[in-house]
Amino acid sequence: MDFGLSEEQTLLQDSVNRFLADQVSLDKVRLFTKNGDTDKQIWTSLCTLGLGGILIPEELGGTGLSPMDATIVAECLGYRVTPSSFLSTAVMAPVALIASSKREDLLSASAEGNHQFGLAFSEAIGSRDGSGLNWDGNVLDGTTVFVQDLNADTFLVATKEKHLLLVDAKATGVEKVEVPNIDQTRVMGALSFKRSPAELISENIDVYHQVLDAGRVMLAADTLGAAQNMLNQAVAYAGQREQFDRVIASFQAVKHMCAEMVANLEPCRAMVWYAGHALNEVKDEARVTACHTKAHLSEVGQFVAKTATEVHGGMGFTDLVGLHYWFKRIGYNRQMLGSPELLREEAASLQDM
């Protein structure tokens, strides 16, 4: 028994971290939030590392790694608040297409970095007033909101019945509207369809859940990385900032804030690893673990985001140090693909409680 990362996984983690430290500076993130057009460039460079095809079999041009490996990458991406469509393009869509043996062409293109997916799951998770989809087996009508990665080439759409469909962004009757959201590293929007051709990927509810579980674990991992970075920044700042003729890190109050953050966050690391591992390896626990991991990371992430900001005093509230990019990323992860209350309810029902 060995609970932890393998040597290869540590290597993967190190190389992705080094790459991102070099390629995705905060300045680049800021640029993306202003212009929005650097994500293709960031994505292309991530694909040179093989991250776009991380789950895609080698014979289709991918690297054929495991969901656990993808979890490690998601954490690294969160650590750098990296704008990318990793969740959609490298994880959720491939899980769906591989499980249902569909559209190898799109998988190959994605592995090469020439194709990106977006996600429209809100209808399946919790439909809002003013939205609703109707699929007649051929064409799709209606509106779905809170779509992630709106600039995608193809959308993976989940219906209320938990069927998965693919819709080409350029298909007839497809209209996109950007919905500005709090996390500027993500592009969210609404999609509406008017007799738009859609391809059925799966009617199998197990496939839907497999895709969703993977997505939830990735979001949890992203939060883990983002929270870890905020904690690191807080500790570093506290070691430099002086008030009352001493570094603020020497105040017990400040130390306790940092200790509480790490005490909450450290177990999350093991939890995320296990959840990532369970996706393929402990299938009967995968769903409950995914629900709890995302819900728990959302709570811990929220606490760390607030506390790390507080450690910075007024500086934490400004755009100067840019802490808010992490704060908002954690906030976004919290609500996407199921907010904590919904997830805990789901976890309870899954266990016949």
Partner 1 sequence: MDLSYSAEHEAFRQQVIAFLKKHKTLAPVGAGLRSAKTRDWQALLIEHGYTARTIPREYGGFGAKPDLLKGRIIAEEFARAQVPGGLSGQGIAMLVPTLLELGTEEQKQQFIRPTLSGEMIWCQGYSEPGAGSDLASLKTSAVLEGENWLVNGQKIWTSTAQIADWIFCLVRTEPDAPKHKGISFLLFRMDTPGIEVRPLVDMTGLANFNETFFTDVVVPKNQIVGFRGEGWRVANTILGNERDSLGNPNATLSRLNALIRLMKSETVGGISLISMPAYRDRLMKIQGRVMALRFNDMRILSAKLNRKDASLARLIVKLQGTELRHDLEALAIDAMGEAGLCFGESDYLRDGGSWQYQYMYFLGLIIGGGTSQIQKNIISERGLGMPREPRVNANTAT
Ligand X SMILES: Cc1cc2nc3c(=O)[nH]c(=O)nc-3n(C[C@H](O)[C@H](O)[C@H](O)COP(=O)(O)OP(=O)(O)OC[C@H]3O[C@@H](n4cnc5c(N)ncnc54)[C@H](O)[C@@H]3O)c2cc1C
Binding region for partner 1 (CB under 8 A)? 122, 125-130, 145-146, 177-183, 188, 190, 242-248, 250-254, 257, 302, 306, 309-310, 313-314, 316-320, 323-324, 327-328, 331-332, 334-336, 338-342, 344-345
CB 226 within 8 A of CB 79: yes
Q: Which is nearer to partner 1, 235 or 323 (CB)?
A: 323
Instruction: Name the minimum Å distance from CB 318 to partner 1.
Output: 5
Q: Which is nearer to partner 1, 100 or 335 (CB)?
A: 335
Q: Quick check: 310 binds ligand X (CB under 6 A)?
A: yes
Of residues 239 and 267, the one with the C-beta less far from ligand X: 239
- Residue placing its CB nearer to partner 1 in the complex, 3 or 244: 244
Residue 213 C-beta: closest distance to partner 1, Å = 18
Site for ligand X in 240-279 (CB under 6 A): 241, 243-244, 248, 251, 253-254
Continuous segment of H or E residues that includes residue 202: strand 199-202
Minimum Å gap between C-beta 205 and ligand X is: 48
Note the residue count of the chain.
353
* Cα separation values, 288 from 62, 141, 142, 219, 276, Å: 29, 33, 32, 15, 12
Q: How far is CA 225 from the centre of its chain?
A: 11
CA–CA separation, 35 vs 336, rounded Å? 23
**Crossing angle between the packed helical segments 205-238 and 323-335, to the nearest 10 degrees:** 160
* Least distance to partner 1, CB of residue 247, Å: 8
Dist CA 323 CA 325 (whole Å): 5
Measured between alpha carbons, how far is 200 from 211 in angstroms, rounded to an integer?
Answer: 15
By beta-carbon proximity to ligand X, the closer residue of 36 and 313 is: 313
Q: Kindly state the tokens that stand for 192.
A: 């509406």
Interaction site with ligand X (CB under 6 A): 241, 243-244, 248, 251, 253-254, 310-311, 313-314, 317
